[in-house]
Amino acid sequence: MTFKKALDYFQRIASETSNKSEIKVYQEFIRILTSLEERDLSASEITAIESELNRLDLNSSNTYNKRYFKKALTQFEKYLEDTFSLSTKGYYTRRGIALGMIFGLLFGAVTLSGLEGSMSIALGISFGMLIGLLIGRNLDAKALSSGNTV
């Protein structure tokens, strides 16, 4: 599937649905494909990306639901990250917040256990999210300045 066919397909199915969460997934695909189309990619890179789009089987005759396209979007983003070192907007911020919550939970439960009730866990998660947010935003800014953001 070429970039143009994929863009047309997602624009068509985005206009056919009224579900906001589905439209967000389709719009994210459209944004990524448009950004890739505007980049100065070599012919072999374009061929590799188009073969990945074919592998995802997006334009099949089956009617897929939002969950299928969300999974396909995640796989496509992972492919771009692994193959071309391209990350999407907010990629590191999302990862930083998630990791911050996990480590903050552990930190709060172990270190701040002297506080009453669930206050230690709440504070740990809050501080972990804040630190993860700051680190993620910093990494997103670096990726944007180096041109590795789609």
Tell me how crowded residue 131 is: count the other CB atoms within 10 A of its CB: 17
pLDDT reported for residue 65:
80
Closest to 11 in 3D by CA, of 20, 23, 19: 23
My answer on whether 51 and 115 are in the same domain is no
| DSSP one-letter code for 87 | B
Token pair 């910093």: residue: 138
Distance, CA of 97 to CA of 13 (rounded, Å): 32
Q: Which pLDDT value is given to residue 125?
A: 95
Instruction: Give the whole-angstrom CA distance, residue 104 versus residue 124.
Output: 4
* Whole-number pLDDT of residue 2: 85
The domain total for the chain is: 2
Block means of pLDDT (10 residues each) for the chain, 150 residues, are: 88 89 92 91 92 84 77 92 90 95 92 83 94 96 91
> Counting beta carbons within 10 angstroms of the beta carbon of residue 146, is it exposed (0 to 12), middle (13 to 18) or buried (19 or more)?
exposed
CB 81 within 8 A of CB 87: yes
DSSP-derived 3-state class of residue 149 = strand
Residues 76 and 106 in one domain: no
Same domain membership, residue 24 and residue 47: yes
* pLDDT, position 3: 83
Phi/psi at 149 (nearest 5 deg)?
-110, 135
In this structure, what token pair is assigned to residue 49? 């990306």
101 and 72 housed in the same domain:
no
Domain span at 26: 3-84
Same structural domain, 99 and 122: yes
Return the closest-CA partner of residue 74 out of 29, 141, 33. 29
Same domain, 95 and 71: no
Residue ending a domain, among 40, 63, 84, is 84
What is the pLDDT at residue 61? 53
Q: Which amino acid is at 111?
A: T
150 falls within a domain:
no
